[in-house]
Structure 1
Amino acid sequence: MNWNELLRLPTTLLVILAGVILLLALAQLLAARQHAHNRRHLAATAHSLLLVVFLLVAALLGGMAMSLRGYRFLSEEQPVVQIDAHILSPQRWALTLTWPDGANRKLMLAGDDFQVDAFVLKWKLPAMLAGLPPLYRLDRLSGRYDDASQEATAARTVIDFSQAGAGDLVDLKNQVPRWFPEVDTVFGSAAFLPLVDGGHYNVSLMRTGALVARPDEATAQRIGQPLGG
């Protein structure tokens, strides 16, 4: 069972429990009205107090359920691209990019690491908790050198993914912000990892708008090997 399933379970239970307590509150309301009709004021007052208590407890449980639901949404990730790497020569790589729809692209990259950059459009909290995911547009894939001095002088590889037209949401938000009242912010996000021969990487976007890159288990073990290992 993953974390999303663990968080979804108490959310569902809290919603059910809140519903049961609301039914109890309704029963207290009917009882209070009946006692008030029969002029049993003390009993009517007692049931009214129970009604208030049940409503407060139901509201508390409902709020907890929404909070947990929000945390579950924030933990979910949207696949962006898979990257497979094969070494051609020292610091020269052949990469295969596979998109969620199954399309793929092959390219060459220079460096020790790959870096993926994207523009992210993030919604305000009410829209995000309601389940509206952040929007993204891949901007570029580039090579990165571990040595900063080499980064300044060595050949660089930059692959441009920016193909947005005049209707791009990022540009529209910047140009006409009042059209997008529920947009919280537009920002850049990037993720990079070391390249290893035969490496397989998954790049995804979190609900917070953060771009993350993760190697599979075998790749992670190879990344963790000491030099010469």
Structure 2
Amino acid sequence: MPSVLGPGGWASLALWLLGLSFMAAAFRSLLRARPLGLLVHTLTGMVLLIGGVAFSLVGLGMHGYQALTQEQVAARIRIEPLGPQHFRAHFTLPDGRRQSFELRGDALYVDAHVLKWKPWAHLLGLHTAYELDRVAGRYLSLEQERAEQRTVYSLRLDRPVDLFSLRERFGWLSGVLDTDYGSATFKAIHGTGEMELRVSATGLLLRAVPLQASSSAD
């Protein structure tokens, strides 16, 4: 069962509580006129509180990411042709959300962000996770890809913290975040059909679903 506090939540809570206890000890040292105790407790408390803030930011940044432990279905997609090189893709996500996108091109393109954490960070509840990023129509012809109408939409959830940007700005994240990378896949559209978007530690894969299987699943 996932923690109600989210990834890194227990570590953040522990650091906050320890930091506050040291700051309380610093206040007692101030009242008792103990300058050395005041200095030690204040510095220790500040370091712990900063660590708590850092893990809180990680937890906020992980909001919307899905844990990735084996190959799993990231979305079911129904294709509705609208005309030549023109189709609509209806996404059904694991959390029940449904989104539809009108796209131009010969193929469906989807990409994602993947976060891979250091092994020791797993103890804090931080595991390899993914987030779908963009969906687009893709022309098979390079000339058309350059000249024709481009259709690109976001699949991401809005969040107050972007771990991808923070990883570039703050070196301390390299101690817990092993790597962050993108993965993409595309598949040609051949009329009405259904697909499964699958994700694993090696990346994304679009796989056609036989109409009989998709009908029996509904």
The alpha-carbon deviation at position 160 of structure 1 amounts to 2.0
Q: Supply the distance in 1 between the matched residues of 2:120 and 2:207 (Cα, whole angstroms).
A: 29
SS at structure 2 position matched to 1:150:
helix
CA contact (8 A) 1:122 1:135 kept: yes
Q: Supply the distance in 2 between the matched residues of 1:201 and 1:127 (Cα, whole angstroms).
A: 34
The alpha-carbon deviation at position 181 of structure 1 amounts to 1.8
Count, aligned residues: 146
Letter of the 1:91 partner, please give it. Q
1:156 equivalenced with 2:153 (yes/no) = no
Question: Of 158, 166, 176, which residue of structure 1 is paired with 2:170?
Answer: 176
Question: Of 191, 209, 212, which residue of structure 2 is paired with 1:216?
Answer: 209
Question: Of 193, 200, 207, which residue of structure 1 is paired with 2:194?
Answer: 200
Moved over 3 A (4+): 124-128, 162-166
CA contact (8 A) 2:69 2:128 kept: no
Identify if the C-alpha distance between structure 1 residues 127 and 218 changes in structure 2 by more than 3 Å, giving closer, same or farther: farther
RMSD between superposed Cα atoms in Å = 2.9
Identify if the C-alpha distance between structure 1 residues 204 and 177 changes in structure 2 by more than 3 Å, giving closer, same or farther: farther
Gaps of 5+ in 1: 1-73, 220-229
Question: Of 133, 147, 161, which residue of structure 1 is paired with 2:141?
Answer: 147
Q: Supply the distance in 2 between the matched residues of 1:206 and 1:124 (Cα, whole angstroms).
A: 17
Provide Cα deviations, 1:162-185, integer angstroms capped at 9, x if missing partner.
444341222222222314523211
Question: Where do residues 42-191 of structure 1 align in structure 2 (5 Å cutoff)?
Answer: 76-124=70-118, 133-179=127-173, 181-191=175-185
The alpha-carbon deviation at position 190 of structure 1 amounts to 0.5
The alpha-carbon deviation at position 95 of structure 1 amounts to 1.4
Letter of the 2:76 partner, please give it. Q
Letter of the 1:178 partner, please give it. W
CA contact (8 A) 1:85 1:196 kept: no
CA contact (8 A) 1:117 1:138 kept: yes
Q: Supply the distance in 2 between the matched residues of 1:188 and 1:207 (Cα, whole angstroms).
A: 11
Q: Supply the distance in 2 between the matched residues of 1:134 and 1:196 (Cα, whole angstroms).
A: 34
Which protein has the bigger helix share? 1
User: Which TM-score applies when normalising by structure 2?
Assistant: 0.58
SS at structure 1 position matched to 2:112:
strand
Identify if the C-alpha distance between structure 1 residues 126 and 204 changes in structure 2 by more than 3 Å, giving closer, same or farther: farther
Gaps of 5+ in 2: 1-67, 213-218
User: Which TM-score applies when normalising by structure 1?
Assistant: 0.55
The alpha-carbon deviation at position 127 of structure 1 amounts to 5.9
CA contact (8 A) 2:194 2:210 kept: no
Calculate percent identity across the aligned residue pairs.
35
Identify if the C-alpha distance between structure 1 residues 191 and 133 changes in structure 2 by more than 3 Å, giving closer, same or farther: farther
Letter of the 1:96 partner, please give it. H
Q: Supply the distance in 1 between the matched residues of 2:77 and 2:156 (Cα, whole angstroms).
A: 18
Q: Supply the distance in 1 between the matched residues of 2:72 and 2:162 (Cα, whole angstroms).
A: 20
Q: Supply the distance in 2 between the matched residues of 1:77 and 1:177 (Cα, whole angstroms).
A: 30
